[in-house]
């Protein structure tokens, strides 16, 4: 079970985007990366095609490493560490304050 999932609100703790709060658009658990809304935007050049004969420059969000973000606890509104507890054969994510993380 991943500690960060799609739709979570996270706080960026390191890198040039440090201090921003963003929503997780995509989680890539095999690569240990996440794509955040409005964070780490990059420009990519597209070759000319039939649809756009001139080509274009597209701006998009690039993935960042999962270790550079912390989930925000909805109860306190602060970044928190996450652990996983097993209750009744189901896994739940729990913030450091020992209350279930509400997403």
pLDDT at 102: 62
Q: How many CB atoms within 10 Å of residue 24?
A: 21
Whole-model pTM: value is: 0.80
Strands 69-71 and 9-12, bridge-based pairing: antiparallel
**Would you state the pLDDT for residue 96?**
76
Domain boundaries, given as residue ranges, for the chain: 9-73
pLDDT band at 18 (very low <50, low <70, confident <90, very high): very high
pLDDT tens figures, 88-97: 999 888 887 6
- What architecture (CATH level 2) is domain 9-73? Roll (2.30)
């Amino acid at each position: 079970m991943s500690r960060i999932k799609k739709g979570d609100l996270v706080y960026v703790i390191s890198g040039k985007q440090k201090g921003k709060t963003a929503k997780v658009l995509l989680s890539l658990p095999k690569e240990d990366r996440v794509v955040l809304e409005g964070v780490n935007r990059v420009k990519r050049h597209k070759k000319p095609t039939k649809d756009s004969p001139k080509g274009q420059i597209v701006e998009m969000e690039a993935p960042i490493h999962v270790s550079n973000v912390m989930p925000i606890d909805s109860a306190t509104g602060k970044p928190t560490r996450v652990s996983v507890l097993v209750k009744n054969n189901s896994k739940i994510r729990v913030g450091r304050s020992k209350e279930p993380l509400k997403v």
